[in-house]
Amino acid sequence: MEKLFERCTELSDGEEFVFSDGRTDSGIMLIGEAPGENEVKLKKPFVGKAGKNLDEFISILGIEREDIYITNAVKIRPHKLSLKTGKRINRSPSKAEVDRFRELVVEEIKMVTPKIIVTLGNTPLKQLLQREVRIGDMHGTLMELELGGRIYSLFPLYHPASIIYNRDLRQIYIDDLARLREIIHRLGI
């Protein structure tokens, strides 16, 4: 774990970064997009509004947040300056940022060896599959992911923040979580 933290420090190139949170011996690994302002302040993934949604969704699965491993595809906060306020605001990570942290995320997966990887949104899904995909086409579907000669179960979900911006996705998300809960029980997690 220490080596991964050092590698993250190098890749962050002087920018503040947010590493992972949770149990490294967990059967479930969640991979989000990137930290936002609150996550950078608290040095923990998913602590803002999306984090509240994530906590609610985790409770639907019947597990505790502390029992899973949570990380992000990009470890630094992608931001731009607001033309209105001149303050930093979040933006989607660039392909270069996603690619920069891919190897580190793969190393995290190899270290945790989860029974199932749950990607949250487009960014981590594209990062792992290394191709253009849309979460709208793939959410709620159990897939296989080969990394370093090992096969992992992969289950893409919409990002919890998407529910904030599109309330119509809430029921879809809950249905996907019901499917995920069945899979988790079937895998004995």
Other residues' Cβ atoms within 10 Å of the Cβ of residue 107: 16
Which phi and psi angles does 133 have, rounded to 5°?
-140, 165
Tens of pLDDT, residues 49-107: 878 888 988 998 999 999 999 999 999 998 888 888 888 888 889 999 999 999 999 99
Closest to 160 (Cα-Cα) out of 55, 79, 62: 55
Other residues' Cβ atoms within 10 Å of the Cβ of residue 34: 27
121, 33 contact by CB (below 8 A): yes
| Residue whose token pair is 């303050």 | 87
Domains and CATH numbers, the chain: 2-184 (3.40.470.10)
Q: Which residues contact 6 (CB under 8 A, 6 or more apart)?
A: none
